[in-house]
Structure 1
Amino acid sequence: MAKKPQIIQQKQIAKTRLFCIEELALKFSNGEERIFERMVSGRSGAVMIIAVTDNKEFILIREYSAGTHDYQLAFPKGLMEEGETIVQAANRELMEEVGYGAKQLTPLKSMSLAPGYFSHQMNLILAQDLYPEKLPGDEPEPLELVFWPIDEIDSLLQQTDFTEARSIAGLLLAKRYLTQEAAF
């Protein structure tokens, strides 16, 4: 395994309310030096919840996405609050965004998004054994709930508004987990 490069200098070059951009002067073990930039998330991470109903449906949301300036179909997600565990954050976000809590929350995977540039971590959580429970959310408009049958994953993948890589990864990891669970 390669030795991590030495950080010679680290400085903040821009900051927003969500991200901090840093410049890193690095020296690699072979003597090469390079300047890298990275976005450092200012929070504890985030959660994405793949909720499954007793009727064997995924619960998705359709919400406005500023990056594409369009409405996208995705799994509910949100930032973790200070002091929350991954499971607590997932259950809170589920209640805020879809109006359900979950008695069974299973961490599936912690993922990075473009680790060459971002420090942000997204924790994928499978939520089962749902019950009605609503908390006030922070969305600027009501979210559209979409219930999608688990056995129609291929048609979900073909939806033109289901494009977020994290949601696609969550869908496939949940499908694998649920298939293995059903085999026992």
Structure 2
Amino acid sequence: MDTFEGKDAHLSEHTLHSEDLLHGHFLHIKRDTVRLPGGEQATREYVVHPGAVMVIALFDDGRVLLERQYRYPMQRVMIEFPAGKLDAGETSLRCAQRELQEETGYRASEWARAGVLHPVISYATEFIDIWFARGLSAGERHLDAGEYLDVFTAAPAELLAWCRDGQVTDAKTLTGALWLQNVLRGDWTLDWQSPT
């Protein structure tokens, strides 16, 4: 893979000053003064996020596991792959296993890390590690206090149609659908592992 590391110095911005605007329970908002590549100064406001995971769980019959959850900022119910925020000191795989089990009740015997996505590069540090899971076994959900969501399955073709028609607009789920489509076609491969 060709990278641009070392070739982008002429585009880099350098922090001159940083201040906290909000340090809440979930979000940390900062305002930085930066020096632009041309020497002038600018202000950058952004959200510091600890990172998250998303799980594309595959059933033996080819269906995928999805959720419907009300997202307050959007004021609507969204269709999404299971996902969740990393806890302090938690590995990405452990977070994926925990979130899948807590939100859906399912556990998986095999896992494959597909990649990473940055959903809002213009104003947040958030990254989401993309995990595939298979060898699913059902169990009991353990939702967080105040968490309400429905779990359901869909054929990949249904999910892709919902993406095309605008029923799925969540960035991580759209990215997950791209990964799913390419994995199912055999264009992209995964390195499956059975964690101990």
Shorter-chain TM band: 0.7 to 0.9
Verify the 8 A CA contact 2:53 2:130 in the aligned structure 1.
yes
Q: Which moved more, 1:102-111 or 1:56-65?
A: 102-111
Distance in 1 of aligned mates of 2:17 and 2:187: 48
Distance in 2 of aligned mates of 1:36 and 1:112: 18
Distance in 1 of aligned mates of 2:21 and 2:159: 43
Q: 2:28 aligned to 3, 9, 20, which one?
A: 20
Matches within 5 A, 1:108-127: 108-127=114-133
Give the secondary structure class of the aligned counterpart of 1:67: helix
Provide the TM-score with structure 1 as the length reference.
0.88
Matches within 5 A, 1:8-157: 8-41=16-49, 43=50, 45-138=51-144, 140=146, 142-157=148-163
Give the secondary structure class of the aligned counterpart of 1:81: coil
Q: Does 1:167 align with 2:192?
A: no
What amino acid does structure 1 have at the position aligned with 2:67? I
Map Cα deviations across residues 106-125 of structure 1 (whole Å, 9 max, x no partner).
Answer: 11121112212100111111
Structure 1 residue 20, shift from structure 2 partner: 1.6
Map Cα deviations across residues 80-112 of structure 1 (whole Å, 9 max, x no partner).
Answer: 122221111111111111111111111112111
Distance in 2 of aligned mates of 1:156 and 1:112: 22
Distance 1:171 1:141, change over 3 A: same
In structure 2, stretches of 5+ residues that fail to align are 1-6, 190-196
Q: Which runs of 4+ in 1 moved over 4 A?
A: none
Q: Which moved more, 1:149-158 or 1:168-177?
A: 149-158
Verify the 8 A CA contact 1:108 1:174 in the aligned structure 2.
no
In structure 1, stretches of 5+ residues that fail to align are none
Give the secondary structure class of the aligned counterpart of 2:186: helix
Distance in 1 of aligned mates of 2:128 and 2:78: 18
Structure 1 residue 64, shift from structure 2 partner: 1.0
Q: Give aligned-pair identity as a percent.
A: 23
Q: How many pairs does the alignment contain?
A: 181
Cα-Cα RMSD: 2.1
